[in-house]
C-alpha cells in the first residue's frame, strides 16, 4: 500500500482550480427533504473538510443530518510530547463538537472513539455502529474515499459499503480529502469519470464551512515549540477546502443502476409510470411533438422508450425509427404497438453501452437520462451520432424522485456541455423541462425562409 506523507507542499490549489473537468462535473443536488444524510468521518475534521458544505446545506434545508466520527483522533502528533493521547482525544472531541455546531444547529454527532490509525481492526464493530445510526428510509451515506491513501479513510469506505449492503434505499458517496494533496492536478483519473459529482456550495455554506474548519486549532496551529508539534493541516492543504464546491464520488449501486430495477418495474405492470391515458402525459407528449423543429425526419432514435406511447407518435414523423429500453416488458409492449410500422425497430439494451450504430437526425431523450449511470457517456454518444443537421429533444420531470440519481437541471446542463448544440426551443414549467437542441442554429421561421 502506498501511503502519502503529510509533509511537503502537495498539489497547489490553483492547479486544481485551473482544471476544466472540475468545472464541468455533473452537479449534485440535495435529495428530497425526506432523505436522511449520514456522514462517517474517520477522524474528527474529515467530515468538515470533505463534506462540511454539504452538511451545512442539508442541515439548513431541514434534512435529518448525522455525523459519526469513528476514531478519537489521538494519533495526530505521534512524536509530540506536548499532549498525552487522552489529552489530544479530549481536545479533538471538543473541536469537532464546535465545528459541527458551526455547520448546523440540529446535526447529530456521534463520537465512537476507536483508536486513531487502527480503524481497519474494527471494521465489524464500526459497521454495526453505522448500521444502527442510519435511520430507516431513504438515506445518503457519505464517507472518505477509499483511494485517499490513508488506512483509516480506506477502512471507513469499507465500513460504509458493508453498512449499506442490505439497503436498497441508501445512496453512497465517498469524498477525497488527502487525494487533493498528493494527486497531481491534470486529467481526471479515468475510473472516476462516471463517479464524480460536484456540489456548488454558494457563499453561505462556503462561509459556514470555513468557520467550522477554524475550530480545529490543534490541527491548524503548532501544539508546542518542537518540530513534532507542527500543524497537521498546513495552509497549502486547507486551501483545497476553501473552494466554493465539494466533490463526491458516487460509489454505491444506486437502485436504478441495475437493469433488474427496470425489469421489476414492468413485472405484472404494463405501464408502471401510468403514462397512458393521463391528461398530464397526453399533454406532455403533444408538447414534445409540437416542439419538433421540422415536419419529417430520416432516422430517429428513442432511448428509454418505455411502453412506446411516444414511439408511435414519432413513427408517424420519420422514415426509420429505432427504440430501445432496458426492460424486456417495455420492449414487448412497444414492439406490439409498433407492429403497424415496418420502419420501426425495438431492442432491449443497456445504454449508453449498446448505443445503435449509424447516425440520426433526431434523438429523443424523454424521462430517461436522469436514470443514467453514465451521463457523460450518454452525452458523448449523442454528440457522436447526430448528423450535421441533427436535433436532440430532452424532456425531464423536475420534481425530486428517489430513484433519479440526477435532477432534470443536472441532466440538461451536463448533456448541453458535452454535446455543444444550439438551443432552438425551450419550454419550462413547474413539472418538467423540454428543450430542443440542434446542430442547426436557425429558428423555425428561419428554416422556413420566413425571415433571413
Ligand atoms: Zn482523516
pLDDT tens digits, one per residue of 21-52: 888 888 888 888 888 999 999 999 999 999 99
**Which residues does 381 contact at the CB level (< 8 Å), separation at least 6?**
351, 352, 355
Q: Measuring CA to CA, which residue among 445, 443, 439, 435 is closest to residue 422?
A: 439
**Residue 323 Cα to ligand 1 middle (Å):** 48
How far does residue 190's CA lie from ligand 1's centre (Å)? 25
Helix (H, G, I), strand (E, B) or coil at 231: coil
Instruction: Give me ligand 1 centre to Cα 77, in Å.
Output: 13
Give distance in angstroms: CA of 330 to centre of ligand 1.
47
Output the CA 202–ligand 1 centroid distance in Å.
25
Give the Å distance between the CA of 45 and the centre of ligand 1: 7
**In 235-278, which ranges are continuous DSSP H helix?**
235-238, 259-266
Using alpha carbons, list the distances in angstroms from residue 152 to 40, 46, 177, 436.
11, 11, 12, 48
Q: Is the peptide bond before 194 cis (omega within 30 degrees of 0)?
A: no
What one-character DSSP code corresponds to residue 356? P
Q: Which of 137, 178, 134 is nearest to 160 (CA)?
A: 134
From CA 148, how far away is CA 76, in angstroms rounded? 17
Decide: 390 and 438 in contact? Cβ < 8 Å: yes
- How remote is the CA of residue 78 from the centroid of ligand 1, in Å? 14
Question: Residue 160 C-alpha to ligand 1 middle, in angstroms?
Answer: 15
Entry pTM = 0.62
* Gap from CA of 244 to ligand 1 centroid (Å): 21
What local confidence, expressed as pLDDT, does residue 258 receive? 52
CA angle 89, 91, 94 (to 5 degrees): 110
Which pLDDT value is given to residue 373? 73
Q: Greatest CA separation found in the chain?
A: 85
What b/e string do you get for 86-110 counting C-beta neighbours within 10 Å, with b at 16 or more?
eebbebbbebbeebbebbbeebebb
> How far is ligand 1, taken at its centre, from the CA of residue 83, in Å?
19
CA of 138 to the centre of ligand 1 (A): 27
Separation of 52 CA from ligand 1 center, angstroms?
A: 14
Residue 46 CA to ligand 1 centre (angstroms): 5
The CA-based dihedral angle spanning residues 130, 61, 199, 363, taken in that order and rounded to the nearest 10 degrees: 110
Cβ atoms < 10 Å from Cβ of 318: 20
DSSP 397: E
Residues of the chain with pLDDT under 70: 1-8, 190-191, 193-194, 252-261, 268
- The pLDDT assigned to 253 comes to 59
Calpha distance 141→37 (Å, rounded): 6
Residue owning grid cell 448525522:
66
Cell matching residue 91: 481536545
Q: Cα of 350 to ligand 1 centre, how many Å?
A: 38
The Å distance, Cα 69 to ligand 1 centre, comes to 10
The per-residue pLDDT for range 336-383, each reduced to its tens digit, is: 999 999 999 998 888 888 899 999 999 999 999 888 777 888 888 999
Q: What is the pLDDT of residue 2?
A: 40
Measured in Å, residue 383 CA sits from the centre of ligand 1 at 41
Cα-to-centroid distance, 381 and ligand 1 (Å): 39
Amino acid at each position: 500500500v502506498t501511503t502519502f506523507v503529510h509533509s511537503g507542499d502537495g498539489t497547489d490549489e490553483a492547479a486544481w482550480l485551473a482544471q476544466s473537468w472540475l468545472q464541468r462535473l455533473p452537479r449534485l443536488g440535495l435529495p428530497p427533504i425526506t432523505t436522511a444524510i449520514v456522514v462517517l468521518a474517520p477522524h474528527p475534521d474529515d467530515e468538515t473538510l470533505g463534506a462540511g458544505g454539504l452538511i451545512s446545506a442539508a442541515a439548513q434545508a431541514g434534512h435529518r443530518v448525522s455525523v459519526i466520527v469513528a476514531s478519537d483522533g489521538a494519533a495526530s502528533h505521534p512524536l509530540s510530547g506536548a499532549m498525552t493521547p487522552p489529552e489530544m482525544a479530549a481536545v479533538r472531541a471538543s473541536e469537532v463538537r464546535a465545528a459541527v455546531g458551526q455547520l448546523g444547529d440540529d446535526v447529530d454527532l456521534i463520537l465512537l472513539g476507536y483508536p486513531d490509525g487502527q480503524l481497519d481492526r474494527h471494521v465489524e464493530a464500526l459497521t454495526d455502529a453505522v448500521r444502527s445510526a442510519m435511520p430507516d428510509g431513504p438515506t445518503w451515506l457519505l464517507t472518505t474515499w477509499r483511494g485517499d491513501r490513508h488506512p483509516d479513510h480506506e477502512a471507513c469506505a469499507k465500513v460504509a459499503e458493508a453498512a449499506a449492503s442490505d439497503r436498497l434505499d441508501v445512496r453512497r458517496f465517498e469524498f477525497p480529502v488527502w487525494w487533493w494533496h498528493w494527486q497531481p492536478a491534470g486529467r481526471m483519473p479515468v475510473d472516476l469519470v462516471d463517479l464524480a459529482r460536484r456540489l456548488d456550495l454558494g457563499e453561505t455554506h462556503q462561509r459556514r464551512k470555513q468557520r467550522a474548519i477554524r475550530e480545529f486549532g490543534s490541527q491548524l496551529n503548532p501544539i508546542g515549540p518542537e518540530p513534532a508539534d507542527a500543524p497537521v493541516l498546513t495552509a497549502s492543504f486547507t486551501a483545497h477546502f476553501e473552494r466554493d464546491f465539494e466533490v463526491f464520488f458516487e460509489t454505491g449501486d444506486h437502485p436504478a443502476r441495475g437493469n433488474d430495477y427496470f425489469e421489476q418495474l414492468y413485472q405484472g405492470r404494463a405501464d408502471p409510470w401510468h403514462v397512458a391515458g393521463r391528461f398530464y402525459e397526453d399533454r406532455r407528449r403533444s408538447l414534445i411533438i409540437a416542439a419538433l423543429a421540422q415536419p419529417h425526419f430520416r432516422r430517429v432514435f428513442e432511448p428509454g422508450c418505455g411502453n412506446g406511447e411516444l414511439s408511435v407518435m414519432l413513427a408517424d414523423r420519420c422514415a426509420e425509427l429505432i427504440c430501445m429500453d432496458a426492460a424486456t416488458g417495455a420492449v414487448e409492449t412497444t414492439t406490439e404497438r409498433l407492429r403497424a410500422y415496418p420502419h420501426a425497430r425495438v431492442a432491449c439494451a443497456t445504454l449508453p453501452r449498446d448505443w445503435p450504430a449509424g447516425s440520426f437526425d433526431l434523438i429523443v431523450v424523454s424521462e430517461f437520462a436522469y436514470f443514467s449511470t453514465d451521463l457523460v457517456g450518454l452525452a458523448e454518444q449523442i454528440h457522436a451520432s447526430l448528423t450535421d443537421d441533427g436535433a436532440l429533444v430532452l424532456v425531464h420531470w423536475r420534481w425530486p424522485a428517489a430513484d433519479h440519481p440526477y435532477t432534470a437541471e443536472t441532466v440538461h446542463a451536463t448533456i448541453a456541455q458535452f454535446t455543444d448544440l444550439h438551443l432552438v426551443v425551450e419550454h419550462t414549467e413547474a413539472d418538467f423541462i423540454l428543450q430542443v437542441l440542434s446542430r442547426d442554429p436557425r429558428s423555425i421561421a428561419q428554416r422556413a425562409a420566413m425571415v433571413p
